[in-house]
Amino acid sequence: MSDVLDGVKEVVVDVLKIGVENVNESTKFIEDLKADSMDQFFLIDGLCEKFDLSISDEDARNIQSVGDAVKYVESHK
């Protein structure tokens, strides 16, 4: 498992207060984890902080799953 995937999972588990066993690369934030708009805001904020990134609102709208987040972080490191 990649360091980026581990980091994304850590943010998701922390923000949504769920067990890591519920999170994998294909997990969708809204459909699978029932994240609302505030959860999504805190997920993006957590990713920015964890990986020292700046994620635009437009890019944030395209991050809908754990896999999307991993790809985004890997391509913007």
pLDDT at 35 over 90: yes
Share of the chain above pLDDT 70, in %: 99
Residue 68 CA to residue 62 CA, distance in Å, equals 8
65 DSSP assignment: B
Give SS3 for 60.
helix
pLDDT digits (tens, 9 = 90+) for 58-69: 999 999 999 999
Establish whether 36 is a catalytic residue. Answer: yes
Residue 40 has pLDDT above 60, yes or no: yes
The answer to whether residue 42 scores a pLDDT higher than 90 is: yes
What residue ranges define each of the domains in the chain, with the CATH number in brackets? 3-76 (1.10.1200.10)
| Pairwise CA distance, residues 19 & 76, whole Å | 27
Output the DSSP codes for 14-28. Answer: HHHT--GGG--TT-B
Mean pLDDT in residue range 29-54: 97
Q: Which of 3, 14, 32, 36 is catalytic?
A: 36
